[in-house]
A and B are shown apart, each in its own frame.
Chain A
Amino acid sequence: MNSALYLAVRSLWWHRRRSLAVVFSLAVIIWLPATLRIALNQFRTDISARAVSTPLVIGAPGSRIDLVMHSLYFRSQPAASVTMADYQLAAEATEAAAIPLHVRFSTRSQPGAESAPIVGTTPEYFHFRQLRPQSGELPALLGECVLGADYAVRSGLKAGDTVLSAPRNALNLAGEYPLLLLITGVLAKNYSPDDDAVFTDLRTAWVIEGIGHGHQTVDRQTDLTLLLPNDRENAASMTASMGILPYLEITDDNRDSFHFHGDTAEFPLTAILAVPAQERDRIKLLGRFSGSRQLQCISPPQVITELLSIVFRIEQLALLFTLTAAAAALLLLGLVLNLSLKLRAAEMQTMFRLGCSRLTILRLQSAEVLLLLLSATTVAVAGGLLVRNTAAALLQQLLL
């Protein structure tokens, strides 16, 4: 080994507590801006990729960012809903493939796993996002669901288990009841917000919302108390009383009893993804809804670019703060190194008196500084790479 390097290593090892303190301080100085940069790049890549893969989103008028965040990340609720009629309109407007989304409910949180959004959609969504089951299969029947990969890991649930939906309002006894969903499979990891969601079909989502329900047979033979008093004798009509309770789980035995009230065309959706076959169709669709007061059609990449410009400004500010702190820390570190050299002046004097060359003294001191810098950079980069995904996810939570 090179002599200067050998002496530097031995010296640093002998003063290992001091060396560790210096390496740690330097690593933090390097790690903070590096990690911020790495995480922001990762965040930028992730968010852009998701946006680019989603050509158009149709939703109720309101915040464009909210609509994009809702339809891409299942976060934030649009101020108003769209309907199945709007979905039909979008589907017929162009050659675009339209994918309905209903994301209003989430699973009930449990120890070790926060709640996950329940996404009601059609099988086209899985095809569009290239989501495939890693185990089990996609939901086919009412009351079935499939879990995103990360949520499955967090919750410890698997195909064959059940997951309970959480009503938005516990006092809404007439509408939303918790529904026990049967898990038919777990999706392969997709490195997207889909990994943290639970997917079911639209009709099941509507059942969770209380638009559809199932209950025991209501007739005069079963139980008269389940009918309104006036209907108990009247053969012309039968109206169920408050005594009837909806099923909280959809099973093979009760599946046929589930039904929906009202006009299907008015059933709510929270957003519609539109996937035009060609650029011409995309422009056509944008134009089709540009003057609409009931619907807005937006291009997620455009909205995300606007959002990223805000993030970029925040990044510049954060970097400025970090670099200022780093400059102060470097000054302190310089002071420490300077004091350290002064403490070792006697050692350097001994080397000189023995006949040490100037170059070797310079090499020795440089080798120590370089080793400290190299160690700190290695630690910082390793730390940055380790927390890259976590930091990017954290940024998504903070910024989206």
Chain B
Amino acid sequence: MIAIRDLQFSWTDGPFRLCIPTLEIARGEAAVLAGPSGCGKTTLLNLISGILPSSAGLVEVNGTDIARLSDAERRLFRLKNIGLVFQDFQLLDYLDVLGNVLLPCRIQPSVRLTPALRKRGLTLLQQVGLADFSQRSVTRLSQGERQRVALCRALLLNPQLLLADEPTGNLDPHNSRRMVELLLQESRRNGATLIMVTHDHSLLPMFDRTLPFEQYLAGKNAGDAGASP
């Protein structure tokens, strides 16, 4: 599913350097990237999703070399193939619950909102227990409910890869655990590969595999990496 070879990335104005000689993650695998906040885990997710272009090396997602795609192609590829869950969920206040879930259908001309996708959005909400909240403003949801909306948005287009960037960062241990369970459950239900970033080591046993992130860092001060732009 994901194949990385000789990947190198560094910020121009900092000591941070990421070097990954080889990394492979199989389809349907649930992997976790652990490490302290700001050590560069998000940067790796951004490289995999094509948000950031790599300095050198190969990043292949589902057989597609991300680096070979143009900016517009990368955006479209990301939308269609990768589901993203952010730390603070990044829901749009001015859209209701269903509107947020259906957002991916409104941001690319080539991805149209069809009745089937609307139905899928409602089904996803039903699966996470938010069927009755579809018309509710996201500002009136609890933190746990917002997580689930963000997850439904990430799963709407049936992505083969789910990237979750510290989705438990602001949660208490109980809710953190529930979020991870939900991510695992929904990614498995959708047959998606999952890579989650966390600094909470207690969650690691829930995943199939923990990626050795410390090995990928080549800078003299890995803790400064995330502070770079």
Contact = CB atoms under 8 A, between A and B. Distances in A.
Interface of A: 3-4, 6-7, 10-11, 13-15, 346-347, 350-360
A353 B84 contact: yes
B51 interface: yes
B92 interface: yes
Contacts of A6: 106
Given A350-B86, A355-B76, A7 B108 contact: no
A355 B105 CA distance: 10
Contacts of A13: 94
Contacts, number: 67
B108 A355 contact: yes
Contact of B107 (A10, A14, A355): A355
A353 B109 contact: no
B183 to A, nearest CB: 17
Interface in B8-58: 49, 51
Given A10-B94, A357-B107, A358-B71, 19 more contacts: A3-B105, A3-B106, A10-B95, A10-B99, A15-B94, A347-B90, A347-B92, A352-B75, A354-B103, A354-B107, A355-B76, A355-B77, A355-B78, A355-B104, A357-B75, A357-B76, A358-B72, A359-B109, A360-B108
B117 interface: no
Interface residues on B, range: 20 to 34
A351 B84 CA distance: 11
Given A357-B76, A358-B72, A351 B94 contact: no
Nearest to A15: B94
Contact of B79 (A15, A346, A354, A358): A354
Interface of B: 49, 51, 71-72, 75-80, 82, 84, 86, 90, 92-95, 99, 103-109, 113, 153
A350 B99 CA distance: 15
Contact of B109 (A10, A14, A346, A357): A357
B84 A354 contact: yes
A354 B113 contact: no
Contacts of A356: 75, 79, 107-108
Contacts of A352: 51, 75
Most chain B CB within 10 A, of A7, A10, A354, is at: A354
Contacts of B99: 10
Nearest to B50: A355
Contacts of A354: 78-79, 84, 103-104, 107, 153
Contacts of A347: 90, 92
Contacts of B75: 352, 355-358
Nearest to B80: A355
Nearest to A360: B107
A14 B94 contact: yes
B93 A14 contact: yes
Nearest to A7: B106
Nearest to B110: A357
A277 B82 CA distance: 88
Contacts of B49: 353
10 contacts: A14-B93, A350-B86, A352-B75, A353-B78, A354-B79, A357-B72, A357-B109, A358-B72, A358-B75, A359-B109
A355 B106 contact: no
A6 B99 CA distance: 10
B166 to A, nearest CB: 14
Contacts of B51: 352-353
